[in-house]
Amino acid sequence: MRKLIFPILLGLSGCAVLMSLGFWQVDRLGQKQAYLAEIEARIIDAPVALPDDTDESRDKYLPVTVTGQITDEHVYMLAPVRGTSPGYRVVSVMLVEGRRLLVDRGFITADLRGNLADAGQVTYRGNLHWPQEADKWTPAQDGDLIFARNVGPLAAALNAENVMIVVADHGGTDPQLTPMPVGTSGISNDHKEYAITWFMLAAVWALMTGYLIFRTLQAKES
């Protein structure tokens, strides 16, 4: 029996660690689902007027309605959309009561790049957002073409406030563009897959422990 103490302790401790990691991921899954539900509820809430002083921690995803003037200052971001022609997101500067704001107006097809109609005075319903999509692998801005939305650098480049309005509805004032509203699809939620992985590893560990005990007993009998 002394020969079985080590494999039994090894098996129990290994299974305990792996199972605890699996249950931790199950707990994280519940937290993430609650977090995503809270975001989704806020996104579709009734829009309000643009706050005088926007704050990311307080106002992220806040639904707003704004009226202002679209300037001719804009950049295009590559934005492949399944089932459509190649195209871009259009991020423009919008003048709202003396403020210069970034506004993600939505998607246009590639053939319209450089041929945007003058939108002029518009009223948008959308959400405040502070996307930080670029990483060290993201190519640098190339003229009026960008490859990720990072509010800080965009605001600095276009001399605008450090906030972006992502349009959910343009009320027909931007017929060339299709809104691409904010949502939770871009927020990773892999905790279910992680939990399954840890539980499967625990099962494999248990099987290996059982096999080790079996071989130990076989060796003792021989």
Residue 87 falls within a domain, yes or no?
Answer: yes
CATH number at residue 140: 2.40.50
* Same domain assignment for residues 75 and 162: yes
Is this model's pTM higher than 0.85 or not?
no
Residue 174 falls within a domain, yes or no?
Answer: no
* Same domain assignment for residues 36 and 78: no
Number of domains in the chain: 2
Range of the domain at 35: 2-40+189-221
* Same domain assignment for residues 68 and 149: yes
Q: pLDDT (tens digit, 9 = 90+) per residue, 105-145? A: 999 988 888 778 777 889 999 999 998 888 888 888 888 89
Q: pLDDT (tens digit, 9 = 90+) per residue, 23-82? A: 999 998 888 888 778 788 888 889 999 999 999 989 999 999 999 999 999 999 988 766
* Same domain assignment for residues 32 and 122: no
* Same domain assignment for residues 28 and 114: no
Average pLDDT (132-161) is 89
**DSSP H helical segments within the chain, as ranges?**
2-43, 56-59, 151-157, 191-221
* Same domain assignment for residues 14 and 70: no
